[in-house]
Amino acid sequence: MELFDSHVHLDDEAFAADLAAVIDRARQAGVIDMVTVGIDVASSRAAVDLAGRFSTVHAAVAVHPHEAGRAGPKAMADLGPLAAHAKVVAVGETGLDYAKDYAPREVQRRVFIEHIWLSRERNLPLIVHCREAHAEVLEILEREQPVGVVMHAFSGSVDVARACVERGYFISLAGPVTFRNARAAAQVAQEVPLGSLLVETDAPVLAPEPFRGRRNEPAYLPHIVQRIADLRGCPPEEIAAATAANARRVYAVN
């Protein structure tokens, strides 16, 4: 079974002590490729650096909506050349987080839109983080027309998922789909057409069952794939193959 983890944070300090082992365990678990996602300029730089060191690691660069308050003109200017690096496959993660509201909403909106412009300029897909802001995120995406969209760690309803699929966006499912109380996520996992589905760990956070609450790592991706397969009543190999092919397509990875 060959898997593609569409979203991880390998530069996180949680992996500082054993990153090579983490990537090795991922490979042994069948996770052949992964995209390590930046959350600010330093982390985006680290993502590009990691992608240069490990052949199976690809990078995404952005300032996370949590950090949007610190994303001044200098930060956006710094992201431009980073996004031009050969192993950068997406701009992200960016979006709106109205659950935490760490940055003022109007700042989040401005920074989100600037990231969409960057993604268009570089012809890269956009990795979108969205918490309790789906209506506005969809409206902004509709208006600004990024080249491709990955709705990361999708937390919306089935209706929102359908609207995303209609527009050609990818729905990336993470650990919460394995949680017993995650009914919306389970419904989304059953409803989204296989051609629009991605899987991710979002490691080191959002560990799937049976590791919930512990440090997450890409090697746990098969647990998410198995759960989706159980929900859809199909073999996990089918989910693995389809989501890996989708990831290769949206991120333009061979």
Binding site per annotation, positions for a divalent metal cation: 7, 9, 93, 129, 152, 202
3-state secondary structure 121-164: HCCCCEEEEEECCHHHHHHHHHHHCCCCEEECCCCCCHHHHHHH
**Would you call the peptide bond into 204 cis, given omega within 30 degrees of 0 as the criterion?**
yes
3-state secondary structure of 113: helix
Query: Minimum distance between the CB of residue 37 and Zn ion, rounded to whole angstroms?
Result: 5
Residue 142 structure tokens:
């509709």
Nearer to Zn ion, 10 or 240 (CB): 10
Q: Can you say which residues are annotated as belonging to the binding site?
A: 7, 9, 93, 129, 152, 202
Query: Minimum distance between the CB of residue 23 and Zn ion, rounded to whole angstroms?
Result: 17
- The 153-192 contact track toward Zn ion, x by CB under 5 A, reads ----------------------------------------
Comparing CA positions, the residue from 141, 133, 136, 144 lying closest to residue 102 is 133
Comparing CA positions, the residue from 165, 112, 121, 161 lying closest to residue 141 is 112
How many residues sit close enough to Zn ion to count as binding (CB under 5 A)?
Answer: 1
Nearer to Zn ion, 92 or 222 (CB): 92
Nearer to Zn ion, 138 or 153 (CB): 153
Residue in the shown chain whose Cβ atom is closest to Zn ion: 202
Nearer to Zn ion, 33 or 202 (CB): 202
- Restricted to residues 198-237, the positions that interact with Zn ion (CB under 5 A) are 202
CA angle 58, 128, 97 (to 5 degrees): 130
Q: What is the DSSP letter of 179?
A: S
Tell me the window of 84-92, 116-124, 156-164, 195-203 that interacts with Zn ion (CB under 5 A): 195-203
Nearer to Zn ion, 78 or 202 (CB): 202
**Cβ-contact 34, 4 below 8 angstroms:** yes
Which residues in this chain contact Zn ion in the complex, by CB under 5 A?
Answer: 202
